[in-house]
Amino acid sequence: MRFNAFAAAAALCFAMAAWGQAGDNATLPLPPQAPAPGSGIPDLNGVWQAPYTPDLSRTFSSALPFTSFGAEQFKNHLGGDDPHGYCQPTGPTRAIHSPFPFEIIQTAGMTTVLFEIDHTFRRIFTDGRSHPKGQDITWYGDSIGRYEGNTLYVDTTGVSERSWLDTAGHQHSDKLHIAETFAKTGPDTIQWTVTYDDPVYFTKPWSVSLNMKRQKYDIMEMICTDNNQDIPHYITSKPKEAK
Amino acid sequence: MRTLLTLCGVAVSLGVLPVQAHHSFAAEYDQKQPVTFTGVVTKLDWMNPHVYFYVDASDKDGVMAHWACEAGNPNALARRGWKKDSLKKGDQVTVQGYRAKDGTFTMNARSIVLADGTKVFAASSEDGGPLN
């Protein structure tokens, strides 16, 4: 009994520490051991896949709102510059509209996405914390979320400019701010909407919406570096050693 | 009829469903350099991020070339029913696709046909490359 009381008090302290402004990247608290998601929170658990969307602009009704810098970067890119061609990470959202499924796991204070592509994962903290102070810039950035009705709202910052938004070569700066909604629209469907806001590359935010479908098969292992024969053959605008 | 419908289904699947996303077609291949050759499979790598198979084929002058052929992603192909032994060392195949821009004997396979006419796995039409 004494142990249980101590554990409960410790968990409460832990939970309280996680709330409010979080520490820097190196000292982030773990999510609190709060009760698992219950009623009122949409059940997003399962294996899902969105339509493969190698070019996000195809789903956009008009031209992307490039800044002059953004337009120049897009015009001058070569397909062989794609970081993922070298098995570098996709970043937080490109993996969602890749041709590979992913598994969403909801636990207390956190939603985890296990991506088949590259055997990587992404964590979305739903314990009320803020983005870290003096945030590090990382490949997947920092994602925090909250539930409202049938929807998980996710906010992501601190994404490295080394990742691309899609295979077509749309790029971004580390000022990128991503807002996502995962709306449970049926037992086997999630409407995913992503909004990219990056003042370096785009004059205004722009959004893409895709419908994820529940899959009947498990995710598989996909190790990109296993047999990447392509690297010597890429036509790239950059020195290969810089990759 | 059932077999025919199944085969049609597989063919349609291969035509419209993506099996690669690791890089864009244009990153490596030239749609202005279509190639077709018939030869013997010497090796198969059923590995990520792309299945690769190797074919020894003679050109019209009898000069032997050792082709490295890129196909789709093994996970995606497996979900469509293809297996690693769907193509084996020693199989005679006719391969149609597009050559690498760097001029090496590397190509992106869009169609792989065994000697008995059976089509096996190939790459995708959703990588920004040609539709066949």
- Read off the pLDDT of residues B78-98 as tens digits, 9 standing for 90 and up: 888 888 999 999 999 999 999
pTM greater than the 0.80 cutoff: yes
Mark yes or no for CB contact A223/B48 under 8 Å: yes
Residue B25: closest C-alpha in chain A: A79
**Which residues of chain B are within 8 Å of residue A100 when distances are taken between CB atoms?**
21, 73, 75-76
Question: CB-CB: which of A217, A224, A226 is closest to B79?
Answer: A217
pLDDT at A162: 96
Closest CA to B44 of B104, B93, B5, B7: B93
**Which residues of chain A are within 8 Å of residue B100 when distances are taken between CB atoms?**
233
Say whether the ipTM exceeds 0.95. Answer: no
pLDDT at A22: 56
Where residue A59 falls among pLDDT bands split at 50, 70, 90?
confident
Q: Is A217 on the interface with B (CB under 8 A)?
A: yes
Query: Is it the case that residue B123 has pLDDT exceeding 90?
Result: no
User: Is the bond leading into B49 cis (omega within 30 degrees of zero)?
Assistant: yes
Mark yes or no for CB contact A54/B128 under 8 Å: yes
Average per-residue pLDDT in chain A? 87
Q: Is A164 on the interface with B (CB under 8 A)?
A: no
Q: A142 near A118, Cβ under 8 Å?
A: no
Question: Which phi and psi angles does B79 have, rounded to 5°?
Answer: -65, -20
Q: How many Cα neighbours within 13 Å face the side chain of A17?
A: 14
* Mean pLDDT score, B33-45: 97
Question: CB-CB: which of B18, B28, B52 is closest to A80?
Answer: B28
Host H or E run for residue A178: strand A177-186
Question: CB-CB: which of B17, B22, B52 is closest to A85?
Answer: B22
**Any idea how long chain B is?**
132
Residues in Cβ contact with B68 at an 8 Å cutoff, skipping those fewer than 6 apart: A229, B52, B54, B104, B105, B106, B107
Query: How many angstroms separate the CA atoms of A164 and A80, rounded?
Result: 12
Rounded alpha-carbon distances, angstroms, from residue B101 to B24, B110, B111: 13, 16, 19
* Mean pLDDT score, A194-198: 98
Question: Which phi and psi angles does A20 have, rounded to 5°?
Answer: 75, -160
Question: 3-class secondary structure for A92-103?
Answer: CCCCCCCCCCEE
What amino acid is encoded at B12 in this protein?
A: V
